[in-house]
Chain A
Amino acid sequence: MVFAELYDKIYLSLIYADRWKQLFQGLGVTAEITLGALCVGIVLGVLICLMKISGNKPLQWIADIYLTVIRGTPMVVQLLIMWYFVLVAMDNKVLAAIIAFGINSGAYVAEIIRGGILAVDYGQTEAGRSLGLNYVQNMRYIVLPQAFKNALPPLGNELITLFKETAIVGYIALKDLTRAADTIRSATYSPVALFTAALLYLLVVLILTRLLAIFERRLRASDKR
């Protein structure tokens, strides 16, 4: 009796009208936004970080304002402002979400990269500069490659955080995994789709965590080569 009811609910939420496909399409959108935003975030983060450590006052000032505003306001609000006011001319919601999340993530990546740079022994810079490399060359060939390596583990965490945080894109009516599940919920009055979504999120997070751990181990091994 109970099982029959449960089966009905599962059938209605996932199998009827191929609703499970909506969930996976939603997961695809979530993944797209996450990866896109991470790329934007890394480029922006490196840029902001370099501005912050440049020693150039106006550049530092711009970087500080960016960091303060982005980290001091809710992501949802940033997303809404982005979609309804800044990118009004844009009709690609996924791209808009990538930009909004990328700008947000950039602030956190900037701090991660800065930590990575600070962890590079200052002797490296002295050696590079003493050979005659200028500031930019020294950053590019000596410091940043090592800084990135230091930053990879926290960047992996940022990826996982981003992946979960994108769940709010429903606010601009984007059909990501969460929104797809919620749409099914309102059509079926059953929580099955939401639980399935939660399970999918969890599964991806676990897989990513595992991959990052392996990756980190490889990285540490390569330190000893």
Chain B
Amino acid sequence: MISVENLCKTFGKLQVLNGVTEHIEKGEQVVIIGPSGSGKSTFLRCLNLLEIPTSGKIFIEGEEITDPHHDINRLRQKMGMVFQQFNLFPHYSVLGNITLAPMKLKKMKAKDAEDLAMSLLSKVGLTAKANVYPAQLSGGQKQRVAIARALAMGPDIMLFDEPTSALDPEMVGEVLKVMADLARDGMTMVLVTHEMAFAKEVAQRVFFMDGGKILEQGTPEELFNHPQEQRTKDFLERVRDCK
């Protein structure tokens, strides 16, 4: 479903992605871990072209999206993205946040869009907040609305960039639960996170990124319990020490 060939990205002189080649299957849940600055976000953002790769190719469902003639906006409609900082639209209500894209991009009628939004809100457990504005929500609620918003376009792939990193600890669980539900429904997911326990639970594969490369990858069991590379071991140790 997602194929990446020798993906490189530089910012000025800084080489952030250093030839990433990877394949992600339909229905697979992949977790990306790695030290800060290793290029995790950049990799994720290249997948929906929020960052334009410097070189290399990306194929989504067989189409080369890195081809300059590819319609970026149509691609993005099929890929939802969830951000660390939520990025809800403060001038729209919760309902407005969710219905905006289906109404403007799929020309969905207001009534249908609202029905869709309500069913998504019930999925994330927030029907009671439909008419509230983002400023009135807690962090965990914001992120759940952001997930509902991303789902409203009916994406085939969901990208998550540290969706729980900006949350108070007591709110992490409610967001992870929504994501676990999505995974169980078979959504193709690429997720950058520091939640190792969650990664173990839902991910089929874990990528360890370092220095702009996927240094090592495997099942959660392989990568967490039997890492091969010294850098992976060091990283996992550091993460465990923090806990």
* B173 in contact (CB, < 8 A): no
| Interface-lining segment among A24-32, A134-142, A172-180 | A134-142
Using a Cβ cutoff of 8 Å, how many contacts connect chains A and B?
Answer: 64
* A224 in contact (CB, < 8 A): yes
Interface size class on chain A is 20 to 34
* A149 in contact (CB, < 8 A): yes
Interchain CB contact under 8 A, A225 and B48: no
Interchain CB contact under 8 A, B89 and A130: no
Chain B residues with Cβ below 8 Å from A128 are 89
What is the minimal beta-carbon distance from B45 to any residue of chain A, in angstroms? 8
* A91 in contact (CB, < 8 A): no
Task: Annotate B115-158 by CB proximity to A: 1 below 8 A, 0 otherwise.
Answer: 00000000000000000010110000000001001100100000
Chain A residues with Cβ below 8 Å from B75 are 132
Nearest residue (CB) in B for A125 is B87
In-complex Cβ contact of B83 among A123, A134, A149 (8 A): A123
Chain A residues with Cβ below 8 Å from B76 are 129-132
> Of residues 179 to 230 in B, which have CB atoms within 8 Å of A's CB atoms?
none
CA distance A219 to B178 in the complex (A): 34
In-complex Cβ contact of B105 among A124, A133, A225 (8 A): A133
CA distance A132 to B73 in the complex (A): 4
Chain A residues with Cβ below 8 Å from B50 are 126, 129-130
Chain A residues with Cβ below 8 Å from B56 are none
In-complex Cβ contact of B135 among A126, A141, A225 (8 A): A225
Interchain CB contact under 8 A, A121 and B135: no
What is the minimal beta-carbon distance from A164 to any residue of chain B, in angstroms? 32
What is the minimal beta-carbon distance from A132 to any residue of chain B, in angstroms? 4
Interchain CB contact under 8 A, A133 and B89: no
In-complex Cβ contact of A132 among B83, B87, B133, B153 (8 A): B153
> Of residues 121 to 166 in A, which have CB atoms within 8 Å of B's CB atoms?
121, 123-124, 126-134, 137, 141-142, 145-146, 149
Interchain CB contact under 8 A, A124 and B149: no
What is the minimal beta-carbon distance from A131 to any residue of chain B, in angstroms? 4
Chain A interface residues toward B at CB < 8 A: 121, 123-124, 126-134, 137, 141-142, 145-146, 149, 223-225
Could you list some 8 contacts between A and B, CB below 8 A? Answer: A123-B83, A123-B85, A127-B87, A130-B76, A130-B80, A131-B105, A133-B101, A149-B91
